[in-house]
Structure 1
Amino acid sequence: MSAPPAGQLPASSLLQLIWLASPALPVGGFSYSEGLETAMERAQPATEMIASDWLTDQLQISLARGDLAVIAQAIPAWRSGDLPRVQQLNAWVLQTRETSELRAQAEQMGRSLLDWLRNHDGANAAHIEACAQMQPTFPVAFALAVSQTEAGVRDCLLAYAFGWAENMTQAAIKSVPLGQSAGQRMLARLAGAIPAAVEAAMQLPDDERQAFSPMLAILSSQHETQYSRLFRS
């Protein structure tokens, strides 16, 4: 088999990123709305534009300055075997989840991805066990998974962000509710905003990384007692 052209991602690494970004990955991302379900109930009448604005803001204000920035630092740390740095990043995620619901999501999805990695060819067994010892969060476990590929950090962040966008678009379709065409329009808008969010995350130093989203935290807390919930709390 001939080698890929210079600068082109090998097919195996590209497929791995697509796999990890897929909503079908058995980590449970589809079962959370990250406050969106409550936001749509409070915004009655909820509309496509309200949901689209909400998710775009969440991408730029929360994801880009938090999880994406963590993953951008965790990938090179895993690749170099810098476990203290990985532990520091994982602890930051745990400490900055502002509700029990958001923390439970990060922990459950992290454990599930680690279980998936244990049954996946090519995974680094020593790193998997080291990750298991630190109560892994999903961003840090995702960074471990993609660190096994030849993909650059930017491509890994694009995959993570698009996987998040797909899950959240599906949450919006169910919460508003909306049709599939509206969902595709929302996903197209998010896809257009993702590259800039990724670039911002890659440039963010530690002292500017943040997870302060007070309205998101309030809505996540209210979700725990919301009547007739579709998503996990």
Structure 2
Amino acid sequence: MTTDFLTLAQLLSPSFPVGAFAYSNGLETAIADGMICTAADLENWLTALLTHGSARADAVLLNVAYTADADDLAMIDATARAFAASSERLMEADLQGAAFCDTITAVWDIPLAHLTYPVAVGSTARAMSLDLELTTAMYLQSIVANLSAAAMRLVPLGQTDGQRVQTALKPLCQTVASDLIGATLDYLHSSAFMSDIVSMRHETQYSRVFRT
């Protein structure tokens, strides 16, 4: 388990070259529109993503990719692309996934096709025999950390408040990861509609710091 943790800490680190710092998942528009002004607002927003939105959907795709046969990966990846709620969400999953796959192949010599990010992480975790529940929990925590960092820059939110939000959401990341063991594509849904709408609106936002 210790080795799994250290490997996942590397794969999901901000230093891993997927460019996660450049994406806000629509959070930039939500902040610009005054929907997120405090640490409590951010925590509520991220809670919705983890329980009903894109973060949970990503975790489902990661789990399904982990347990799938190699022949099914293309179908799972196509499902991930079709499920993206906006062109920017698709771009985010596609470009981060491509960068992740390229790095995994170059460093670990694990051949990966051009997969979306959650599918690539699940497939890699299986190839490395990493613990699935731990992989999912740390993947979700990395989403929380990245979006918290975006909010620190844009709200602006203090670093201490950003860390409080991440600390508060750690148990939820673990709970979602535990609940999704054995997940199938039937688990895939999203009802965090405001998050999807601001992601769509970010495509035409005049002044932007983040790509999504």
- The equivalent of 2:105 in structure 1 is 118
Q: Determine the C-alpha separation between the residues in 2 that align with 1:20 and 1:111.
A: 14
Q: Offset at 1:213? A: 3.5
SS of residue paired to 2:107: coil
Percent identity of equivalent pairs: 30
Distance 1:10 1:52, change over 3 A: closer
Q: Post-superposition shift, 1:55?
A: 1.0
Q: TM-score, normalised by structure 2?
A: 0.92
Q: Which amino acid aligns with 2:29?
A: T
* Partner of residue 91, structure 2: 104
1:66 partner SS: helix
1:111 Cα deviation from its structure 2 partner: 0.6
Change in 2 beyond 3 A, CA 1:174/1:10: closer
Equivalences for 1:3-82 in 2 at 5 Å? 9=1, 11=3, 13-43=4-34, 46-63=37-54, 65-77=56-68, 82=69
Query: Cα distance 1:16–1:45, how it changes in 2: closer, same or farther (>3 A)?
Result: closer
More displaced, 168-177 or 102-111?
168-177
CA RMSD of aligned residues (A): 1.8
Uncovered stretches (5+) of structure 2, i.e. residues with no partner: none
Asked if the contact 1:64/1:198 (under 8 Å) is kept, the reply is no
Deviations 1:84-138 (A, max 9, x none): 32122111110010110000000000110011012113x333xx2xx23xxx100
- Structure 1 residue runs without a partner (length 5+): 1-8
Whether the aligned pair in 2 keeps the contact of 1:64 and 1:200 (CA below 8 Å) is no
Paired residue total:
212
2:122 to 137, 140, 143: 143
* Amino acid paired to 1:99: S
AA aligned opposite 2:110: N
Following superposition, the deviation at residue 149 of structure 1 comes to 2.3
- Does residue 152 of structure 2 align to residue 173 of structure 1? yes
TM-superposed deviation, 1:23 = 1.3
Deviates more, 1:98-107 or 1:193-202: 193-202
Q: Would the aligned equivalents of 2:88 and 2:199 in 1 still touch at CA under 8 Å?
A: yes
The 1-side partners of 2:43 and 2:56 are apart by 19
